[in-house]
Amino acid sequence: MFIKKIVILFSGEGTNLENIIKKLHNKEFNDTKIVVSKAITNNPLANGIKRAKREGVEVEIIDHKKYTSREEFDKELVKAIKKESPDLVVLAGFMRILTPIFTENIKNAINIHPSILPLFKGANALKRSFESDMKVAGVTVHKVSSELDSGEILEQDCFKKDRLSFEEFEKRIHELEYEIYPKVIVDILIKKK
Ligand code: GRF
């Protein structure tokens, strides 16, 4: 039996974090067991902290407000990640702009973004995608690179916007995220992608 370790980074609600833990933590896929070895947040008040702990996953809080620059924060973050020697680093609603300190040291990181990239990069993507006159919307899983929301696209899925209310739209986006993100993680860890 092989063991593959992941570290999850989050900043807020943590519903993707919880979904990934529930579907993958300590689960076996062929001859490989996936372990979420740690979850790390920059936000001491993030709801995801309770969610991770409830599922038995250790949380480390690295409060970005205690650091004088993005680089200093990223140094601490990189150190905490490297301590775990993860096979994959999974960003799930991690709301920090990363510096080269992160991207040059952590090469195996992926992110999920609530739009069909390269459209609606950056903040408020979900709202901007909802308000656009596009007929479809969706989500993207991509590699983390030095440019925001611009790394290689690994997976995407979309749906017709029709006449969904904002609440219904948001729900559809999250449902898609919960479906595709764990699948991509498993694919990467058992080397299909
Ligand atoms: C998700 O929509 C994700 O695509 C974006 O941030 C949101 C995080 O939600 N990057 P949650 O914290 O997982 O509930």
Per-residue pLDDT of the chain (193 residues; tens, 9 = 90+): 999 999 999 999 999 999 999 999 999 999 999 999 999 999 999 999 999 999 999 999 999 999 999 999 999 999 999 999 999 999 999 999 999 999 999 999 999 999 999 999 999 999 999 999 999 999 999 999 999 999 999 999 999 999 999 999 999 999 999 999 999 999 999 986 5
* This prediction's pTM: 0.97
CA of 1 to the centre of ligand 1 (A): 32
- The token pair that represents 180 in the structure block: 């595709």
> Do 112 and 139 meet the contact criterion of CB atoms below 8 Å apart?
yes
Residue entry with tokens 């994959």: 88
Is-catalytic flag, 113?
yes
Domain boundaries, the chain: 2-113+141-157+181-191
Question: Amino acid identity of 128?
Answer: R
Give the residue, by CA position, lying nearest to ligand 1 atom 6. Answer: 93
Ligand 1 interacting residues, C-beta cut-off 6 A: 10, 12-17, 92-93, 112-114, 177
What is the C-alpha to C-alpha distance for residues 24 and 64, in angstroms, rounded to an integer?
28
**Domain 2-113+141-157+181-191, CATH:** 3.40.50.170
Please report the pLDDT score of residue 191 as a whole number.
80
Element (DSSP H or E) covering residue 24? helix 15-24
Q: How big is the CA angle at 101 (ends 99 and 106), to the nearest 5 degrees?
A: 105
What burial class does residue 79 get, using C-beta atoms within 10 Å of its C-beta: 0-12 exposed, 13-18 middle, 19+ buried? exposed
